[in-house]
Amino acid sequence: MNTVFKISDVAFSYGNGMVLKGINMSVQKGENIAILGPNGSGKTTLLRLLYKSLTPSKGTIKLFGKDKMSRKEISKKIAVVSKAENTSISFTVFEMIMMGRYLKSKGIWFENKEDKERARDIMKRLDIDRYSDKYFNCLSSGEQQRVLIGRALAQGPEVMLLDEPTSHLDLSHQVYCHSLFCKLNESMKITVVMVSHDLNLAAQFCKRIILIKDGSIYADGVPEDVLTEKNIEDVYGVKTIVDYNPSTSKPRITLIP
């Protein structure tokens, strides 16, 4: 497999506060990874370092084997989906999805028939085609989140970096979107790295789990090895029962009140 990200002895601080320290990891092409950990553990910071939104205070990060890549090069290969915020963006859903085609086309508002067909197909797959002419800022947070996912898919990326991509979605759309990410990962070999708070969804849909505690990698491996009762108590400070989902044989986590 080809290495997409290579992180060597990386640390990062906001001012005097150290957020990440001693991070060593690599991501191979075609992996499907969830980054888990408590609030403030450094998950989102790590994700932002991956796509060069932040610069490490120490250490190196290579993208596709390169020390440096232009913003345009990164955008052609990596799509980023952050948590939806109800902003005053005054574009329609169709226009938002079409923005994802910008780097593939001659320029914005000059998209071809193929671009428009791809946008419509994505909207249909994400169940947002009925909102095509609706303005983004008029949608619910869950609907906005699906639009942002759609815009990322429209880029045709090699890598998708997702920051809590299903946090605003209802249960059916959470499952659907995770299933979609798996399908993209398996059929199109898109590398998926997501930050999540949902241990059960991560266990069911992701093949590798990176568990972060206090800015360091506490555990890294397959869900069965990482999501143990001991690890969860050490990282989150709560007791759980970990058994196996009878329909998938994946770890199932139950909180002990």
First vs last C-alpha separation in the chain: 43
pLDDT of residue 1: 58
Count other Cβ atoms within 10 Å, centred on residue 117: 10
pLDDT digits (tens, 9 = 90+) for 153-193: 998 899 999 999 888 788 988 888 898 899 889 988 899 99
pLDDT of residue 166: 85
Contact status, residue 226 vs residue 219, Cβ threshold 8 Å: yes
Three-state DSSP state, 200: helix
User: Which residues contact residue 61 at a Cβ distance below 8 angstroms, ignoring those fewer than 6 apart?
Assistant: 5, 6, 7, 8, 10, 49, 50, 52
> What rounded mean pLDDT belongs to the chain?
91
- Name the residue among 204, 221, 214 with its Cα closest to residue 166: 204
What DSSP letter does each residue of 21-46 carry, written as one string? EEEEEEEETT-EEEEE--TTSSHHHH
pLDDT digits (tens, 9 = 90+) for 117-136: 989 999 998 889 999 999 99
pLDDT of residue 17: 84
Q: CA-to-CA distance for 83 and 39, rounded, in angstroms?
A: 15
Q: Which residues of the chain have pLDDT under 70?
A: 1, 84-88, 103-110
Crossing angle of helices 141-154/171-188, nearest 10°?
A: 10
pLDDT of residue 107: 56
One-letter amino acid at 188 equals M
User: Which residues contact residue 217 at a Cβ distance below 8 angstroms, ignoring those fewer than 6 apart?
Assistant: 22, 23, 24, 25, 210, 211
Structural domains in the chain, sorted by start: 3-255 (3.40.50.300)
pLDDT of residue 245: 93
Q: Is the pTM of this model over 0.95?
A: no
